[in-house]
Amino acid sequence: MLSSTWRSRSTRGVLVIGAAAALALTGCSDKSTDSGSGATGTGSGGLSIQPVMQVDTAGKEVPKTDPAKAADPAGDGKATCAPGTAIAMAGALTGPDAALGINIVNGVKLALDQHNKANPGCKIELKQFDTEGDPQKATQVIPQIVNDRSIIGLVGPAFSGETKATGQILSDAGLVAVTSSATNATLTQNGWTTFFRGLANDDVQGPSVAKYLVGTANYKKVCVVQDNTDYGVGLAKSVTEGLGAAADPACAASIKKGDKDFSATVTKIAAAAPDAVFFSGYYAEGAPLAQQLKSGGVKAVFVGPDGVNDPQFISQAGSAAKGANLTCPCGPAPEKFAKDYEALNGQAPGVYSVEAYDLTTILAKGIDGGKVTRPDLLGFVRSYDGPGLARTYKWSPNGELANAQIWIYEVK
């Protein structure tokens, strides 16, 4: 929902995330370890990430999906399949960005739990593979998945870098790979035949968010800061182009994944006095950047994309996270889904949890329909057209969604 606070802030064109002194701050695609997560999850100090609105490529508000119409992983309860029929999940389950991978695998678990309880004749197994979000490690992990013939579908890879490094391996193996989080726009331009993206890519997110920031939030000057990952670089380019004259090249900056000291970047941004700072990267770096911007006296609103959209950003950034705008091609968790998810996993759903659930449901529907070989399940996904909790899923030949939109969130 759209809060009155947000409306008044948007009209003014300035959101204050802080105002004080010195440099220290309390933070796919490549997307830390810990439990909490989510588009509506709660972090420290009572702050939480709350949905504001869904926007189209013009940055204008559009209605959300009706969860009552979503496909149900339980199906009719009559499915049968051979024991040992399995799907896999691949992504960061440990490492600095693991919270995002955990959000995904927990969404997969919920869909399979609901499916398997309802279908005693078809118990689909889940095999988890930890890539740590590292493209190099992923090139060692994905062949393990490909060589396990019991695995007929994959939810993943999770991050853009690891997907770029392994997409051809999966395509050559004919293994359908549905990602709930890898958003680099170029991934669908490689000629792969088994890759399907379950959310908008960065070339949709970038212009949508840019037009929202300029046309709806009325920001006149925005500093774009990017990390050096495939995700960060690609999204920053798209956002900068979409912002047009509002993107100030004098305060644009690049940082390295793993950096924690952003004093030079803060000094540059403070001198520019922008209305907003868009950080194209992940919460592991976004949190300390937000902190240091606040401590450095920067009064611009901090804006982060899906890689930052996690309660770990709040936990690590502390009070500096308040008022931040976070965007995502991922949708918020409907009430019943959130209740079921937390009951099973012991934590609230997070960014990509809903998409992972929806994509797993699609794979389960294919298996329930007798598509129990890699070629058959691939064909089922390729021709799929149906509603999920987050959106309608229908893919173009290159694996992009036929219709994709972006959500705007606020930390409050």
Strand partners, 54: 62, 407
Arithmetic mean of pLDDT over the chain = 89
pLDDT tens digits, 228-284: 999 999 999 999 999 999 999 999 999 999 999 999 999 999 999 999 999 999 999
Give the tens place of pLDDT for each residue, 292-345.
Answer: 999 999 999 999 999 999 899 999 999 999 999 999 999 899 999 999 999 999
- Here the tokens at position 257 are 């994944």
Residue 228, Cβ neighbours under 10 Å: how many?
Answer: 13
Nearest to residue 362, comparing CAs of 386, 397, 395? 386
Residue range 96-120: mean pLDDT, rounded: 96
* Residue ranges of the chain that CATH labels 3.40.50.2300: 4-63+203-331, 67-200+332-400
Closest C-alpha among 67, 78, 121, 115 to residue 344: 115
Look up the pTM and report it. 0.81
Minimal CA–CA distance to 409: which of 298, 291, 336, 314? 314
pLDDT at 36 over 60: no
- Which tops the pLDDT comparison, 9 or 198? 198
- Taking residues 199-225, report their average pLDDT: 94
Main-chain dihedrals φ then ψ at residue 146, nearest 5 degrees: -60, -40
Q: Categorize the per-residue pLDDT at 37 as very low, low, confident or very high, splitting at 50, 70 and 90.
A: very low
Quickly state the pLDDT bin for 44 (edges 50, 70, 90): low
Residue 26, pLDDT score: 27
Q: Would you say domain 4-63+203-331 falls under CATH 3.40.50.2300? A: yes
Comparing CA positions, the residue from 177, 310, 131, 159 lying closest to residue 227 is 159
Distance CA 187, CA 168 (A): 10
CATH of span 67-200+332-400: 3.40.50.2300
Q: Which two tokens stand for residue 387?
A: 């509603």
Cα separation, 278 vs 210, in Å, equals 9
**Residue 137 structure tokens:** 């490690």
Q: Is 23's pLDDT higher than 60? A: no
Segment among 44-53, 101-110, 251-260 with least mean pLDDT = 44-53
Q: Kindly state the tokens that stand for 335.
A: 């009430």
Under 8 Å between Cβ of 133 and 124: no
Q: In a 3-state reduction of DSSP, which class is residue 202?
A: helix
